[in-house]
């Protein structure tokens, strides 16, 4: 190489290094990537000194084949072929440190223009409010490409920042419809009735939480990410501002299943041009992948990412899943003895006629599937029973404390010779409350007796699930001590078969003193 050419190359290399050093010094202000920080946010680094904030979406189950049954969608007479209430199942990718639940991660905000440029490796610029607008007018393919580039950058520059499951790193992608809707509704932060509402609770009105059409809201303009209040999971702009692209293709609804034709891609959540009534957790629409000019993009469609993990991560994990799979729909009795499916499997193994063997194998799978559905229904019933027991325990506490007060007042004012004129009325009130407590105690006992049909093993498996649900729900967190007391009472009854109504009432009343 001649000296002059060598000098030119050296100067160019120094210039590139200097430019890289300048870019490396650029650090985004937190308000430009996480304007409403929370202590439990999960932050992933990005190129250009940037970052992206995520929130955990907890699922109260831990085994690899466990998934949490919910109802998504909503019934619509006019648009039933697009949307309908349907059963769905959610599972987490990563195991919580306490090993009581799993989770996946959902981006806290819609992907901003600043983040989108960093994902694509564009020239670094200082962070600013202007760049905090959601990245719109990009095709589905562009969003997928940006996700891919971000995954590659993370693995090269920030691998340790990625959560892992079973030693395997997670990855970002567009969310599935079920992942998105479960998070948009508020996940396990809400009770069943609020979860099934058209929108998560908005005490201060929708204009305080979501950007929709109208002068009092978006007024026809895309808005900066994170200006309004978050949903119960801490996620912003889920039902307005930019519509959000989903991972999968659009399918029509055919009652309890999806139609066979896969079309364009799905967008969810509504946008700043949609009316308030259309901004619901269940609303969905189709967008074509292509227009006559090429890849289709619109000024209302953006995206947010989820962070998940592969499923078959190791031989050990495959072995655990295989073990769980073989138990699915096995149909064990309460005492643990094997039922029809196990016997049918034995018969099938000894059949030599290939045609008959195939028919028996099909029958076995159908029976296992039916048993599995029954098992899932039973689990839901047990969870509901445990929550009812905890609630009744709080009711016995409140009514029991009130009864003690009435008895004390009656003893102070209505015994002896100098009785108050109000004593007859006090006596009636006291007797009514005593009768109320007696009936409440009997009803509480009935719930314990009724649960025996499930068996101790089945009940035990659902206690940590309900504990997890209560811990993470703003509505039921205070019920945890009462659930503990109720489960102790259930175990006592299972062991002895004796009704101890007054002891149970006293136990629940005693929780008021703790």
* Average pLDDT for the chain: 89
pLDDT > 60? residue 323? yes
Residue 171 β-bridge partners: 308
Q: Is 220 left (phi over 0), alpha (psi -120 to 50) or beta?
A: left
Give residue 41's pLDDT band: very low, low, confident or very high (50, 70, 90).
Answer: very high
The 10s digit of each residue's pLDDT in 106-144 is 999 999 999 999 999 999 999 999 999 999 999 999 999
Domains of the chain: 22-308 (3.90.1580.10), 315-369 (no CATH), 374-513 (no CATH)
Q: Which pLDDT score is estimated for 26? A: 57
Give residue 332's pLDDT band: very low, low, confident or very high (50, 70, 90).
Answer: low
Element of type H or E holding 104: strand 102-107
Element of type H or E holding 55: strand 50-59
Average pLDDT of the segment spanning 254-271: 92
The 10s digit of each residue's pLDDT in 436-450 is 999 999 999 999 999
Average pLDDT of the segment spanning 237-245: 97
> 229, 204 in Cβ contact below 8 A?
yes
User: Cβ neighbours of residue 202 under 8 Å, at least 6 residues apart?
Assistant: 208, 209, 210
User: Cβ neighbours of residue 218 under 8 Å, at least 6 residues apart?
Assistant: 211, 212, 240, 241, 272, 273
Give residue 435's pLDDT band: very low, low, confident or very high (50, 70, 90).
Answer: very high
Average pLDDT of the segment spanning 283-305: 96
> 195, 343 in Cβ contact below 8 A?
no
Q: Which pLDDT score is estimated for 339? A: 67
Q: What is the pTM of this model?
A: 0.85
Which residue would you say has higher pLDDT here, 2 or 381? 381
3-state secondary structure of 504: helix
The backbone torsions φ and ψ at residue 505, rounded to the nearest 5 degrees and listed phi first, read -60, -45
Q: Which of 177, 302, 156 is nearest to 241 (CA)?
A: 302
pLDDT > 60? residue 229? yes
Query: Residue 317: how many CB atoms within 10 A of its CB?
Result: 17
Q: Is the dihedral of CA 470, 472, 473, 477 positive or negative?
A: positive
User: Cβ neighbours of residue 26 under 8 Å, at least 6 residues apart?
Assistant: 48, 49, 124, 125, 126, 127
pLDDT > 50? residue 10? no
């Amino acid at each position: 190489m001649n000296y002059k050419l060598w000098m030119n190359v050296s100067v160019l290399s120094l210039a590139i290094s200097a430019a890289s050093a300048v870019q490396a010094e650029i650090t985004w202000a937190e308000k430009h990537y996480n304007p409403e920080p929370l202590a439990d946010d999960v932050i992933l680094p990005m190129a250009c000194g940037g970052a992206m904030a995520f929130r955990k979406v907890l699922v109260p189950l831990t085994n690899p084949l466990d998934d949490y049954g919910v109802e998504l969608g909503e019934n619509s007479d006019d648009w039933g072929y697009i949307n309908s209430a349907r059963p769905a199942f959610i599972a987490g990718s990563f195991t919580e440190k306490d090993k009581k639940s799993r989770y996946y991660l959902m981006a806290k905000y819609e992907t901003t223009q600043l983040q989108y440029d960093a994902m694509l490796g564009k020239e670094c610029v200082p962070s600013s409010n202007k760049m905090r607008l959601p990245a719109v007018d990009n095709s589905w393919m562009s969003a997928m490409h940006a996700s891919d580039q971000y995954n590659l950058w993370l693995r090269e520059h920030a691998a340790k920042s990625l959560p892992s499951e079973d030693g395997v790193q997670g990855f970002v992608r567009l969310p599935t419809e079920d992942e998105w809707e479960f998070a948009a509704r508020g996940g396990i932060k809400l009770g069943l009735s609020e979860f099934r509402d058209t929108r998560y609770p908005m005490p201060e009105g929708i204009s305080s939480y979501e950007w929709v059409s109208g002068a009092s809201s978006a007024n026809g303009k895309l808005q900066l990410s994170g200006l309004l209040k978050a949903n119960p999971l801490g996620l912003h702009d889920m039902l307005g501002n930019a519509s959000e692209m989903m991972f999968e293709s659009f399918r029509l609804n055919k009652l309890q299943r999806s139609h066979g034709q896969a079309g364009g891609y799905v967008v969810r959540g509504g946008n700043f041009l949609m009316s308030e009534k259309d901004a619901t957790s269940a609303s969905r629409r189709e967008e074509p992948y292509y227009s006559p000019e090429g890849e289709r993009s619109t000024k209302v469609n953006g995206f947010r990412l989820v962070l998940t993990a592969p499923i078959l991560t190791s031989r050990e994990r495959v072995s655990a899943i295989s073990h769980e799979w073989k138990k699915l729909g096995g149909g064990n009795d309460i005492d643990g003895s094997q039922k029809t499916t196990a016997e049918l499997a034995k018969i099938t193994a000894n059949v030599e006629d290939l045609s008959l063997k195939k028919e028996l194998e099909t029958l076995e799978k159908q029976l296992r599937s039916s048993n599995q559905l029954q098992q899932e229904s039973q689990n839901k019933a047990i969870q509901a029973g445990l929550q009812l027991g905890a609630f009744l325990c709080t009711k016995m506490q409140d009514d029991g404390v009130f009864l003690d007060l009435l008895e004390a007042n009656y003893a102070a004012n209505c015994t002896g010779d100098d009785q108050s004129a109000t004593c007859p009325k006090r006596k009636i009130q006291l007797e009514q409350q005593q009768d109320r407590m007696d009936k409440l105690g009997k009803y509480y006992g009935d719930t314990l007796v009724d649960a025996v049909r499930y068996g101790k093993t089945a009940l035990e498996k659902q206690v940590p699930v309900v504990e997890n649900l209560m811990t993470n729900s703003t509505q039921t967190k205070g019920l945890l001590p009462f659930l503990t007391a109720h489960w102790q009472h259930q175990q006592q009854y299972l062991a002895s078969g004796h009704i101890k109504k007054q002891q149970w009432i006293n136990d629940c009343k005693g929780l008021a003193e703790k």
